[in-house]
Amino acid sequence: MRTLTVCNFTTVDGRYEDDDHDIASFFAHQHPDYRGADSFDHYTTSLLRESDTLLLSGRRSALGNLSYWAGVADAPDATDIRREFAARFAEVEKVVVSDTITEEDLAPYPNTRTVPVAGAAEEVRRLKAGDGGGILVLLGRVLWNHLMGQGLVDELHLVTFPLIAGSGVPLFDARPPVALKLLETRAWPESGNVLMRWRVDAV
């Protein structure tokens, strides 16, 4: 049985993105001591190294991420850890949950396929029952909220950034039927980020 892990960053007040569905505004009041820190890049790369499937969702989010990471290899200012993430991102199987993304949209991106929204839970059950490494969800809030409600998420990794949004999109739409058991906490002094790693149990 494969493990499905969700990893997301969150603000101190539990926001996923701002009202314009972006995160840039969150960093307006970032402490100057933390600028340029890349601990979150290192952490998500470590998760991706252990994963054989990456779940993406939503037309804007999925295509935006596919395009961004495809361009990192040629970006002169890309860090070594981002280049490593981009290389692994290109190699890993990517399953995009969407009803509007076409094969033509995905043509530039290898190892990528779509499943319809209505079939997402069934596809994840099939993936979890198969052989291979981990299944990872980065971003995809609507998707992983749904999968958590279906009892398909094994671990939830929330990395709190030292940022206060004030408003924006919350991490959760509603209270899912799960209980969380703390597995690990970790802090990165160079960035002010704090990890809470939870096991997700059905109730």
Q: Is the four-CA dihedral 98, 172, 52, 199 of positive or negative sign?
A: negative
The Cα 69–Cα 74 span in angstroms is 10
The Cα 102–Cα 95 span in angstroms is 13
Domain 4-202 has CATH 3.55.40.20: no
Please give the single-letter amino acid code of residue 48.
L
The Cα 169–Cα 22 span in angstroms is 10
Identify the pLDDT of residue 74: 87
Instruction: Name the H helices within the chain.
Output: 39-49, 59-72, 80-91, 103-106, 120-129, 141-149
Residue ranges of the chain with per-residue pLDDT less than 50: none
The Cα 30–Cα 66 span in angstroms is 27
* HSE, side-chain direction, 13 A CA sphere, residue 20: 5
Within 10 angstroms of residue 127's Cβ, the number of other Cβ atoms is 19
Identify the pLDDT of residue 73: 84
Identify the pLDDT of residue 12: 98
CB 155 within 8 A of CB 8: no
Please give the single-letter amino acid code of residue 22.
D
Bridge partners, 184 (sequence order): 197
The Cα 139–Cα 196 span in angstroms is 16
Q: Which tokens go with 47? A: 């998760």
The Cα 26–Cα 16 span in angstroms is 10
Identify the pLDDT of residue 68: 94
